[in-house]
A = this chain, B = another copy of it.
Amino acid sequence: MLVVMQSHASEEQVRAVCQRIESLGLKAHPIPGTIRTAIGITGNKGAVDLGVLESMSGVIECIPVSKPYKLVSRDAKEEDSVLRIPTPSGDVIVGGEKVALVAGPCAVESEEQCMAIAERVAKSGVRLFRGGAYKPRTSPYSFQGLGEPGLKILAKVRKQFGFGIITEAIDNESLDLVEEYADVIQIGARNMQNFSLLKRAGRAKKPVLLKRGMSATLDEFLMAAEYVLSEGNYNVMLCERGVRTFADHTRNTLDLSVVPAVKRISHLPILVDPSHGTGKRNKVLPMSRAAVAAGADGVLIEVHHKPEEALSDGPQALLPEAFAEVVRQVDAIAQVVGRTLQPALAAR
Once the chains bind, are A195 and B217 in contact (CB under 8 Å)? no
Contact of A43 among B33, B49, B230, B248 (CB under 8 A): B33
| Given contact pairs A283-B261, A287-B294, A141 touches B47 in the complex (Cβ within 8 A) | yes
Copy count, this protein chain:
4
Query: A217 touching B256 by the CB < 8 A rule?
Result: no
Kindly report which residue of chain B lies nearest to residue A264, judged by CB atoms: B282
Q: Which residues of B contact A255 (CB under 8 A)?
A: 245, 247, 253-254
Decide yes or no whether A180 CB sits under 8 A from chain B.
no
Residues of A in contact, count (CB < 8 Å): 113
Min CB gap A332→B, angstroms: 4
Report whether A243 and B253 are in contact in the complex, using a CB–CB cutoff of 8 Å.
yes
A176 lies within 8 A of chain B by Cβ: no
A47: contacting residue among B44, B142, B291, CB under 8 A? B142
Contacts of A38 in B (CB 8 A): 2, 40, 65
**Interface residues in A38-69 (C-beta closer than 8 Å to B):** 38, 40, 42-47, 49, 51-56, 62-63, 65-66, 68-69
B309 and A52 within 8 A (CB): yes
Which chain B residues lie closer than 8 Å to A226 at the CB level? 139-140
| A137-B63 contact in complex given A217-B248, A249-B258, C-beta closer than 8 Å | no
Residues in chain A within 8 A of chain B (CB atoms): 2, 4, 7, 20, 29, 31-36, 38, 40, 42-47, 49, 51-56, 62-63, 65-66, 68-70, 75, 136-144, 170-174, 190-191, 193-197, 199, 214-215, 217-220, 223, 226-227, 230-231, 243-250, 253-261, 264, 277-278, 281-283, 286-287, 289-295, 307-315, 329, 332-333, 336-337
